[in-house]
């Protein structure tokens, strides 16, 4: 049982370490949000493993609150990113690209 607990702890520590690297290096806010979700999931799994090994049900409310906080945070970040305007627009919206074979504005007597 002690060996299994050690393996779980090492794997969770490795997942947390890799998630921290992604949190620090992630170029976008979505990468950072995903790494925070992985950190939270690692904490939830660690607490769940502790509760299972020690047969301690008092940790379950903490697990419920943490999972709810993670869900609400993920939804909030997704809505924030969805409402944000795009930062890199390749062409302005007022530029009209000509259609091949269509008369130009000068030929139609439009604006110069």
**pLDDT digit string, tens, across residues 9-19:** 999 999 999 99
Burial call 76-96: b when 16+ CB within 10 Å, e when fewer: ebeeeeeeeeeeeeeeeeeee
Task: Compute the average pLDDT of residues 35-56.
Answer: 92
Q: How long, in residues, is the chain?
A: 112
Residues 25-37 pLDDT 10s: 988 888 898 999 9
Of the chain, the end-to-end C-alpha distance in Å amounts to 83
Given a cut of 80, whether residue 107 has pLDDT beyond it is no
User: Do 39 and 65 meet the contact criterion of CB atoms below 8 Å apart?
Assistant: no
Would you state the pLDDT for residue 12? 93
């Amino acid at each position: 049982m002690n060996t299994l607990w050690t393996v779980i702890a090492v794997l969770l520590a490795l997942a947390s370490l890799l998630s921290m690297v992604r949190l620090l290096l992630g170029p976008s806010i979505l990468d950072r949000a995903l790494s925070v979700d992985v950190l939270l999931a690692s904490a939830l799994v660690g607490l769940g493993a502790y509760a299972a090994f020690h047969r301690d049900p008092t940790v379950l409310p903490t697990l419920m609150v943490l999972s709810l906080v993670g869900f609400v945070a993920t939804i909030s970040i997704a809505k924030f990113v969805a409402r944000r305007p795009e930062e890199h627009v390749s062409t302005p919206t007022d530029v009209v690209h000509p259609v091949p074979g269509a008369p130009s504005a000068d030929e139609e007597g439009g604006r110069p």
